[in-house]
Amino acid sequence: MRHLVFVFLFLIFFTMPVFALHPDEILPDPVLESRARDISRQVRCLVCQGEDIDESQAELAGDLRRAIRQRLVAGDSDGDVLKWLESRYGQRILFRPPVDGDTALLWFAPFAVIAGGCAYVFYGRKRKRKG
Amino acid sequence: MKARFIPLAGFVFFAVAMAFLLMRGGDFKSVPSAVVGKPAPTAFAGADGKAYLVNFFASWCGPCAEEQPVLLEFSKKTGVAVQGIRYKDKADSARRFLSIYGDPFDAIVADDDGRIAIDWGVSGVPETFVVSASGRVLYHHAGLLTAEDFKKHVAPHLKGSVP
Protein backbone atom coordinates (compact mmCIF):
# COMPACT_ATOMS: atom_id res chain seq x y z
CA MET A 1 0.00 0.00 0.00
CA ARG A 2 2.81 2.36 0.91
CA HIS A 3 4.47 1.46 -2.37
CA LEU A 4 1.36 2.54 -4.28
CA VAL A 5 1.27 5.90 -2.51
CA PHE A 6 4.91 6.45 -3.36
CA VAL A 7 4.35 5.50 -7.00
CA PHE A 8 1.40 7.87 -7.29
CA LEU A 9 3.35 10.76 -5.78
CA PHE A 10 6.26 9.99 -8.08
CA LEU A 11 4.00 10.00 -11.14
CA ILE A 12 2.24 13.20 -10.14
CA PHE A 13 5.53 14.96 -9.55
CA PHE A 14 7.11 13.94 -12.84
CA THR A 15 4.05 14.58 -14.97
CA MET A 16 3.60 18.15 -13.80
CA PRO A 17 3.72 20.65 -16.66
CA VAL A 18 7.17 21.99 -17.41
CA PHE A 19 7.02 25.73 -17.56
CA ALA A 20 8.54 27.10 -20.73
CA LEU A 21 9.35 30.49 -19.26
CA HIS A 22 12.95 31.47 -19.81
CA PRO A 23 14.61 33.16 -16.81
CA ASP A 24 15.47 36.28 -18.81
CA GLU A 25 11.81 36.76 -19.77
CA ILE A 26 10.82 37.29 -16.15
CA LEU A 27 10.02 40.92 -15.40
CA PRO A 28 11.73 42.57 -12.42
CA ASP A 29 8.37 43.90 -11.16
CA PRO A 30 6.60 40.94 -9.50
CA VAL A 31 3.13 42.45 -9.91
CA LEU A 32 3.60 42.91 -13.66
CA GLU A 33 5.16 39.47 -13.94
CA SER A 34 2.22 37.88 -12.16
CA ARG A 35 -0.20 39.68 -14.51
CA ALA A 36 1.89 38.50 -17.48
CA ARG A 37 1.66 34.87 -16.30
CA ASP A 38 -2.06 35.18 -15.74
CA ILE A 39 -2.64 36.66 -19.20
CA SER A 40 -0.39 34.05 -20.84
CA ARG A 41 -2.52 31.27 -19.42
CA GLN A 42 -5.52 32.70 -21.30
CA VAL A 43 -3.71 32.86 -24.63
CA ARG A 44 -3.72 29.90 -27.00
CA CYS A 45 -0.47 28.79 -28.59
CA LEU A 46 -1.49 28.83 -32.26
CA VAL A 47 1.18 26.43 -33.43
CA CYS A 48 0.65 23.84 -30.71
CA GLN A 49 -2.13 21.45 -29.80
CA GLY A 50 -4.25 23.14 -27.17
CA GLU A 51 -1.38 24.51 -25.09
CA ASP A 52 -1.35 28.00 -23.67
CA ILE A 53 1.65 30.23 -24.32
CA ASP A 54 2.73 30.07 -20.67
CA GLU A 55 3.47 26.34 -20.93
CA SER A 56 4.39 26.05 -24.62
CA GLN A 57 7.99 25.64 -25.74
CA ALA A 58 7.22 26.92 -29.22
CA GLU A 59 9.13 29.97 -30.44
CA LEU A 60 5.97 31.88 -31.26
CA ALA A 61 4.78 31.33 -27.69
CA GLY A 62 8.00 32.87 -26.39
CA ASP A 63 7.61 35.82 -28.75
CA LEU A 64 4.04 36.35 -27.57
CA ARG A 65 5.10 36.13 -23.92
CA ARG A 66 7.72 38.80 -24.54
CA ALA A 67 5.30 41.02 -26.44
CA ILE A 68 2.78 40.77 -23.59
CA ARG A 69 5.43 41.79 -21.05
CA GLN A 70 6.50 44.73 -23.22
CA ARG A 71 2.93 46.02 -23.31
CA LEU A 72 2.44 45.59 -19.57
CA VAL A 73 5.64 47.53 -18.89
CA ALA A 74 4.35 50.23 -21.26
CA GLY A 75 1.25 50.55 -19.06
CA ASP A 76 -1.44 48.47 -20.80
CA SER A 77 -4.17 46.93 -18.66
CA ASP A 78 -4.84 43.17 -18.82
CA GLY A 79 -7.92 43.89 -20.91
CA ASP A 80 -5.90 46.08 -23.29
CA VAL A 81 -3.38 43.30 -23.85
CA LEU A 82 -6.02 40.65 -24.54
CA LYS A 83 -7.90 43.01 -26.86
CA TRP A 84 -4.69 43.78 -28.73
CA LEU A 85 -3.94 40.08 -29.24
CA GLU A 86 -7.48 39.54 -30.45
CA SER A 87 -7.08 42.47 -32.87
CA ARG A 88 -4.04 40.77 -34.41
CA TYR A 89 -5.01 37.08 -34.34
CA GLY A 90 -8.76 37.01 -33.90
CA GLN A 91 -10.87 35.34 -31.24
CA ARG A 92 -9.19 31.99 -31.79
CA ILE A 93 -6.16 33.14 -29.81
CA LEU A 94 -8.14 33.46 -26.58
CA PHE A 95 -9.15 30.41 -24.62
CA ARG A 96 -12.11 32.36 -23.33
CA PRO A 97 -13.63 34.11 -26.32
CA PRO A 98 -15.71 37.14 -25.39
CA VAL A 99 -19.43 36.59 -25.04
CA ASP A 100 -21.05 38.40 -27.96
CA GLY A 101 -23.47 37.77 -30.81
CA ASP A 102 -21.16 35.38 -32.61
CA THR A 103 -20.07 33.35 -29.62
CA ALA A 104 -23.38 33.30 -27.73
CA LEU A 105 -24.23 29.95 -29.33
CA LEU A 106 -20.83 28.54 -28.36
CA TRP A 107 -21.25 29.57 -24.74
CA PHE A 108 -24.90 28.72 -24.20
CA ALA A 109 -25.43 25.64 -26.38
CA PRO A 110 -24.17 23.19 -23.72
CA PHE A 111 -26.60 24.61 -21.14
CA ALA A 112 -29.41 24.56 -23.68
CA VAL A 113 -28.69 20.91 -24.46
CA ILE A 114 -28.63 19.97 -20.78
CA ALA A 115 -31.83 21.91 -20.13
CA GLY A 116 -33.46 20.19 -23.10
CA GLY A 117 -32.35 16.79 -21.85
CA CYS A 118 -33.68 17.46 -18.34
CA ALA A 119 -36.97 18.69 -19.74
CA TYR A 120 -37.26 15.54 -21.82
CA VAL A 121 -36.60 13.25 -18.86
CA PHE A 122 -38.98 15.22 -16.64
CA TYR A 123 -41.87 15.16 -19.11
CA GLY A 124 -41.17 11.54 -19.95
CA ARG A 125 -41.61 10.66 -16.25
CA LYS A 126 -44.76 12.75 -16.02
CA ARG A 127 -46.32 10.95 -19.00
CA LYS A 128 -45.42 7.54 -17.60
CA ARG A 129 -47.11 8.36 -14.27
CA LYS A 130 -50.25 9.50 -16.09
CA GLY A 131 -50.45 6.15 -17.91
CA MET B 1 -43.01 10.27 -34.49
CA LYS B 2 -42.74 8.38 -31.18
CA ALA B 3 -41.44 10.58 -28.35
CA ARG B 4 -38.68 8.14 -27.45
CA PHE B 5 -37.00 8.77 -30.81
CA ILE B 6 -36.63 12.49 -30.18
CA PRO B 7 -33.19 12.29 -28.53
CA LEU B 8 -31.92 10.05 -31.34
CA ALA B 9 -33.33 12.40 -33.97
CA GLY B 10 -31.75 15.34 -32.19
CA PHE B 11 -28.39 13.60 -32.09
CA VAL B 12 -28.56 12.57 -35.75
CA PHE B 13 -29.48 16.11 -36.77
CA PHE B 14 -26.58 17.48 -34.74
CA ALA B 15 -24.13 14.93 -36.17
CA VAL B 16 -25.23 15.62 -39.74
CA ALA B 17 -24.97 19.38 -39.22
CA MET B 18 -21.45 19.03 -37.81
CA ALA B 19 -20.39 16.68 -40.61
CA PHE B 20 -21.72 19.10 -43.19
CA LEU B 21 -19.85 22.02 -41.68
CA LEU B 22 -16.64 20.00 -41.48
CA MET B 23 -16.88 18.72 -45.05
CA ARG B 24 -17.54 22.19 -46.35
CA GLY B 25 -14.10 23.01 -44.96
CA GLY B 26 -13.09 25.52 -47.48
CA ASP B 27 -9.77 27.07 -48.20
CA PHE B 28 -8.10 27.01 -44.79
CA LYS B 29 -5.25 29.14 -45.96
CA SER B 30 -7.44 32.14 -46.56
CA VAL B 31 -9.38 32.10 -43.31
CA PRO B 32 -10.93 35.41 -42.31
CA SER B 33 -8.10 37.24 -40.70
CA ALA B 34 -8.31 39.72 -37.86
CA VAL B 35 -5.97 42.13 -39.65
CA VAL B 36 -7.97 42.43 -42.86
CA GLY B 37 -9.62 45.84 -43.06
CA LYS B 38 -7.18 47.38 -40.59
CA PRO B 39 -4.23 49.64 -41.41
CA ALA B 40 -1.04 47.80 -42.35
CA PRO B 41 1.04 47.49 -39.14
CA THR B 42 4.25 48.27 -41.00
CA ALA B 43 4.37 51.27 -43.29
CA PHE B 44 6.10 50.89 -46.63
CA ALA B 45 7.09 53.78 -48.85
CA GLY B 46 6.59 53.87 -52.59
CA ALA B 47 3.21 52.23 -53.06
CA ASP B 48 2.83 54.51 -56.10
CA GLY B 49 -0.90 54.71 -55.66
CA LYS B 50 -1.29 50.97 -56.19
CA ALA B 51 -1.96 47.98 -54.01
CA TYR B 52 1.15 45.96 -53.08
CA LEU B 53 2.11 42.66 -51.49
CA VAL B 54 3.85 41.99 -48.19
CA ASN B 55 5.52 38.61 -47.87
CA PHE B 56 6.97 37.04 -44.72
CA PHE B 57 9.74 34.59 -45.63
CA ALA B 58 12.89 32.90 -44.35
CA SER B 59 15.73 30.92 -45.93
CA TRP B 60 15.11 28.06 -43.50
CA CYS B 61 11.50 27.73 -44.64
CA GLY B 62 10.86 24.98 -47.20
CA PRO B 63 7.53 26.20 -48.64
CA CYS B 64 9.08 29.66 -49.02
CA ALA B 65 11.44 28.20 -51.63
CA GLU B 66 8.41 26.98 -53.59
CA GLU B 67 6.74 30.32 -53.26
CA GLN B 68 9.47 32.70 -54.41
CA PRO B 69 9.28 31.71 -58.10
CA VAL B 70 5.50 32.19 -57.98
CA LEU B 71 5.85 35.63 -56.42
CA LEU B 72 8.58 36.54 -58.92
CA GLU B 73 6.58 35.39 -61.93
CA PHE B 74 3.33 37.05 -60.93
CA SER B 75 4.91 40.24 -59.67
CA LYS B 76 6.53 40.61 -63.09
CA LYS B 77 3.27 39.79 -64.88
CA THR B 78 1.11 42.14 -62.86
CA GLY B 79 3.73 44.76 -62.07
CA VAL B 80 2.82 44.66 -58.39
CA ALA B 81 5.43 45.68 -55.84
CA VAL B 82 6.40 43.07 -53.27
CA GLN B 83 7.74 44.05 -49.87
CA GLY B 84 9.65 41.31 -48.08
CA ILE B 85 9.85 40.74 -44.35
CA ARG B 86 12.77 38.51 -43.43
CA TYR B 87 11.60 36.50 -40.42
CA LYS B 88 14.28 35.39 -37.93
CA ASP B 89 16.88 34.96 -40.61
CA LYS B 90 20.39 36.20 -41.32
CA ALA B 91 20.81 38.71 -44.13
CA ASP B 92 23.38 36.66 -46.03
CA SER B 93 21.41 33.41 -45.68
CA ALA B 94 18.41 35.22 -47.10
CA ARG B 95 20.45 36.72 -49.93
CA ARG B 96 21.76 33.27 -50.88
CA PHE B 97 18.26 31.81 -50.70
CA LEU B 98 16.81 34.50 -52.95
CA SER B 99 19.62 34.18 -55.47
CA ILE B 100 18.74 30.47 -55.79
CA TYR B 101 14.95 30.60 -55.81
CA GLY B 102 14.23 34.06 -57.17
CA ASP B 103 14.03 37.52 -55.66
CA PRO B 104 10.68 39.23 -56.15
CA PHE B 105 11.29 41.90 -53.51
CA ASP B 106 11.44 45.64 -54.03
CA ALA B 107 12.64 46.01 -50.45
CA ILE B 108 13.26 43.77 -47.46
CA VAL B 109 12.73 44.56 -43.79
CA ALA B 110 14.28 42.43 -41.05
CA ASP B 111 12.13 40.93 -38.30
CA ASP B 112 14.76 39.34 -36.08
CA ASP B 113 12.72 39.01 -32.89
CA GLY B 114 9.38 38.19 -34.46
CA ARG B 115 7.70 41.34 -33.19
CA ILE B 116 6.69 42.55 -36.66
CA ALA B 117 5.10 39.16 -37.31
CA ILE B 118 2.99 39.50 -34.17
CA ASP B 119 1.85 42.98 -35.25
CA TRP B 120 0.64 41.44 -38.52
CA GLY B 121 -1.03 38.47 -36.83
CA VAL B 122 1.46 36.08 -38.41
CA SER B 123 2.09 32.69 -36.82
CA GLY B 124 4.71 31.27 -39.18
CA VAL B 125 6.28 31.54 -42.60
CA PRO B 126 5.32 31.95 -45.35
CA GLU B 127 2.44 34.37 -45.04
CA THR B 128 1.42 36.96 -47.62
CA PHE B 129 -0.71 40.08 -47.45
CA VAL B 130 -2.28 42.37 -50.01
CA VAL B 131 -2.24 46.01 -48.89
CA SER B 132 -4.24 48.76 -50.60
CA ALA B 133 -2.64 51.93 -51.95
CA SER B 134 -3.94 53.77 -48.89
CA GLY B 135 -2.31 51.27 -46.52
CA ARG B 136 -5.28 49.09 -45.56
CA VAL B 137 -4.87 45.30 -45.40
CA LEU B 138 -7.10 43.71 -48.06
CA TYR B 139 -6.16 40.04 -47.84
CA HIS B 140 -4.19 37.69 -45.59
CA HIS B 141 -2.86 34.38 -46.88
CA ALA B 142 -1.37 32.04 -44.29
CA GLY B 143 0.89 29.34 -45.73
CA LEU B 144 2.21 28.56 -49.19
CA LEU B 145 0.91 30.81 -51.94
CA THR B 146 0.57 28.77 -55.12
CA ALA B 147 -0.03 30.11 -58.63
CA GLU B 148 -3.68 29.07 -58.21
CA ASP B 149 -3.92 30.96 -54.94
CA PHE B 150 -2.42 34.04 -56.56
CA LYS B 151 -4.88 34.01 -59.42
CA LYS B 152 -7.85 33.23 -57.20
CA HIS B 153 -7.19 35.35 -54.12
CA VAL B 154 -4.51 37.94 -54.79
CA ALA B 155 -5.07 39.06 -58.39
CA PRO B 156 -8.67 40.28 -57.80
CA HIS B 157 -7.34 42.87 -55.34
CA LEU B 158 -4.78 44.19 -57.80
CA LYS B 159 -7.16 45.30 -60.53
CA GLY B 160 -6.90 49.06 -60.75
CA SER B 161 -5.95 50.96 -57.64
CA VAL B 162 -8.29 50.07 -54.80
CA PRO B 163 -8.12 52.91 -52.28
Mind listing the pLDDT tens digit of every residue in chain A (131 residues)? Answer: 788 888 888 888 776 656 678 888 999 999 999 999 999 999 999 998 789 999 999 999 999 999 999 999 999 999 999 999 999 999 889 988 777 777 787 888 889 889 988 988 888 788 777 65
**Helix or strand (DSSP H, E) at A60:** helix A59-73
Give the one of B10, B115, B124 whose C-beta lies nearest to A47's C-beta. Answer: B124
Of residues B141 and A101, more confidence is placed in: B141
Q: Is the ipTM of this structure higher than 0.90?
A: no
pLDDT digits (tens, 9 = 90+) for A44-66: 999 987 899 999 999 999 999 99
Interface test with B, best of A65, A83, A89 (most B CBs within 10 A): A89
Distances (CA, A) of A60 to A66, B16, B35, B129: 10, 36, 18, 19
Residues 43-82 of B with CB under 8 A from A: none
pLDDT of residue A105: 79
In angstroms, rounded to a whole number, what is the distance separating the alpha carbons of residues A35 and A43?
A: 13
* Percent of chain B topping pLDDT 70: 91
Determine if the pTM surpasses 0.90. Answer: no
Residues 45-64 of A with CB under 8 A from B: 46-47, 59-60, 63-64
Helix, strand, coil tally for chain A in percent (to 5): 65, 5, 35
Average pLDDT over residues B107-134: 95
pLDDT of residue A18: 60
pLDDT of residue B22: 77
pLDDT of residue A86: 94
Asked if B114 and A127 come within 8 Å (Cβ–Cβ), the reply is no
B113 lies within 8 A of chain A by CB: yes
pLDDT of residue B67: 95
Q: Please report which residue ranges of chain B form alpha helices under DSSP H.
A: 6-24, 62-78, 91-101, 115-119, 147-149, 155-158
Interface test with B, best of A88, A89, A127, A128 (most B CBs within 10 A): A88
pLDDT digits (tens, 9 = 90+) for B17-74: 888 877 776 555 555 689 999 999 998 876 678 899 999 999 999 999 999 999 999 9
Give the one of A60, A88, A120 whose C-beta lies nearest to B35's C-beta. Answer: A88
| The pLDDT of residue B122 is above 60 | yes
Give the one of B3, B38, B118 whose C-beta lies nearest to A64's C-beta. Answer: B118
Q: Label residue B162 by pLDDT band (50, 70, 90).
A: very low
Task: Find the closest chain A residue to B122 by CA distance.
Answer: A89
pLDDT digits (tens, 9 = 90+) for B88-108: 999 999 999 999 999 999 999
B15 lies within 8 A of chain A by CB: no
Asked if A89 and B123 come within 8 Å (Cβ–Cβ), the reply is yes
SS3 call for B119: helix
In angstroms, rounded to a whole number, what is the distance separating the alpha carbons of residues A15 and A90?
A: 32
Give the one of A47, A116, A127 whose C-beta lies nearest to B123's C-beta. Answer: A47
